[in-house]
């Protein structure tokens, strides 16, 4: 089947006249109060919301789906995911506390969900999963910190590690090829695998995770934490039957703000004016309305459910966030911070775009 670019379906200027507003919130099965808690699961929550909305548009069905089911399969039990996370953390600051990196891509998550199905929220509720997952992370993080302290001391202390990294940078800038050899005192080569690798990689084993949660056998823990395996499988098959023909499409944007977000605005309104909610990936660093005024960088993914125009024609996006009811609006002045827009198209919407 010929690939369909989102840009082709949502071509800017295709509308005869720009509507004054769009409100697609009725497509979702509940109010915008779901809460990702202490996890980096925004990408999972917005993924689920787009699929739920597409189910409503295609089948007239309000069906809450399980973020826990998707998070477990796409993040917790994916060994490659934690290997990537291991390589990402601590690379530029060996003295920083290593954390659990759980962010991801809604585009990839949606592709996975459409192919493999998602359980219903009633079968695998997020609240039951998150409580045990948080307890496990705290336990694991304390182990990481204790291990890190030992290795940092062996490497000569925090200041020595910082100097080692600075020396590496200087060697690289000077064209050095074997830059580790130029820092004889450094134990950096063994810090990453010794501290981060062993502990973060342990999360890749869902069986090990379940066993650690409450000291139960893996089978008992899986049923307790994640739901009955037979019901999960039945749910996924049922949802996959309905969503299998759906398609996921994306638009990527430059975020240099040279056009003041005009490209983002065109793509967003083209989708929303056709009744299609979207996910956006947006840089929140420095934004007070998102509680990130002190952050240099804070990438976040969330759902856009509509927009309004003021008397001057300026557009404000309406968000469906995953922070327990905190759903900041996105004014037009912030559009240039949006790096990606993702949409789920039903089979009928996809066919109309050909």
Q: Residue 231 in 3-state DSSP?
A: helix
Q: How confident is the model over 106-135, as pLDDT tens digits? A: 999 999 999 999 999 999 899 888 877 777
What span, in angstroms and rounded, lies between the C-alpha atoms of 301 and 34? 14
Q: Is 97 helix (H, G, I), strand (E, B) or coil?
A: coil
Within a 10 A sphere around the Cβ of 20, how many other Cβ atoms? 11
What integer best gives the mean pLDDT of the chain?
77
Cβ-Cβ contacts under 8 Å for 297 (sequence gap 6 or more): 283, 285
**All residues at 6 or more sequence positions from 280 whose CB lies less than 8 Å from its CB, including other chains:** 268, 301, 302, 303, 304, 317, 330, 338, 340, 341, 342
280: three-class secondary structure by DSSP: strand
Q: What is the mean pLDDT of residues 350-354?
A: 77
Distance CA 350, CA 347 (A): 5
Is residue 150 predicted with pLDDT exceeding 80?
A: no
Q: State yes or no: pLDDT of 348 exceeds 80.
A: yes
Residue 332: pLDDT above 60? Answer: yes
E strand intervals along the chain: 21-23, 247-252, 278-283, 299-309, 315-320, 330-331, 338-345
What integer pLDDT is reported at residue 79 of this predicted model? Answer: 54
Instruction: Give the residue-averaged pLDDT of 166-173.
Output: 64
Please, which pLDDT band fits residue 179 given cuts at 50, 70 and 90?
A: very low
All structural domains of the chain with their residue ranges: 21-352
Most confident stretch, 126-130, 149-153, 249-253? 249-253
Q: Which phi and psi angles does 9 have, rounded to 5°?
A: -75, -40
pTM: 0.76
Question: Of the candidates 120, 142, 8, which has an alpha carbon nearest to the alpha carbon of residue 68?
Answer: 120
Average pLDDT of the residues in 76-102 = 49
Q: Do 306 and 24 contact (CB within 8 A), yes or no?
A: yes
Per-residue pLDDT tens digits for 23-81: 999 999 999 999 998 888 999 999 999 999 999 999 999 999 999 989 888 876 665 55
**CATH 3.90.70.10 assigned to 21-352:** yes
pLDDT in tens, 274-321: 999 999 999 999 999 999 999 888 899 999 999 999 999 999 999 999
Phi/psi at 343 (5° precision): -135, 145
What does the pLDDT read at residue 81? 57
pLDDT-based confidence at residue 222 (cuts at 50, 70, 90):
low
| Predicted local confidence at residue 100, as pLDDT | 46
Taking residues 222-243, report their average pLDDT: 82
* pLDDT score recorded for residue 217: 57
């Amino acid at each position: 089947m010929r690939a369909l670019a989102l840009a082709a379906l949502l071509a800017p200027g295709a509308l005869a006249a720009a509507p004054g507003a769009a409100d697609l919130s009725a497509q979702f099965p509940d109010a915008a109060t779901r809460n990702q808690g202490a996890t980096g699961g925004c990408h999972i929550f917005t993924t689920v919301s787009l699929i739920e909305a597409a189910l409503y548009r295609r089948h007239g069905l309000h069906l809450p789906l399980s973020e826990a089911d998707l998070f477990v399969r796409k993040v917790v039990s994916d060994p490659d995911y934690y290997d990537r996370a291991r390589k990402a953390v601590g690379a530029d600051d060996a003295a920083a506390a290593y954390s659990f990196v759980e962010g991801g891509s809604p585009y990839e998550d949606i592709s996975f969900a459409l192919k493999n199905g998602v359980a219903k929220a009633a079968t695998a509720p997020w609240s039951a999963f998150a409580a045990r997952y948080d307890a496990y992370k705290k336990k694991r993080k304390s182990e990481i910190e204790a291990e890190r302290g030992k290795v940092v001391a062996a490497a000569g202390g925090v200041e020595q590690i910082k100097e080692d990294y600075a020396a590496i940078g200087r060697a690289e800038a000077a064209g050095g090829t074997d830059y580790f050899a130029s820092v004889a005192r450094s134990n950096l080569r063994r810090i990453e695998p010794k501290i981060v690798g062993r502990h973060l990689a342990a999360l890749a084993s869902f069986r090990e995770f379940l066993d650690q949660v409450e000291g139960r056998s893996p089978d008992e823990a899986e049923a307790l934490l994640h739901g009955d395996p037979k019901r999960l499988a039945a749910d996924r098959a049922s949802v996959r039957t309905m969503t299998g023909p759906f398609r996921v499409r994306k638009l990527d944007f430059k975020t240099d703000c040279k056009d003041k977000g005009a490209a983002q605005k065109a793509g967003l309104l083209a989708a929303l004016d056709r009744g299609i909610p979207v996910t956006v990936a947006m840089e929140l660093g420095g934004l007070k309305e998102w509680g990130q005024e002190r952050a240099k960088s804070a990438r976040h993914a969330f759902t856009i459910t509509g927009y309004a125009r003021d008397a001057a024609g300026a557009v404000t996006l309406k968000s469906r966030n995953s922070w327990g009811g905190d759903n900041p609006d996105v004014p037009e002045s912030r559009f240039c911070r949006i790096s990606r827009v993702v949409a789920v198209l039903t089979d009928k919407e996809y066919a109309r775009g050909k």
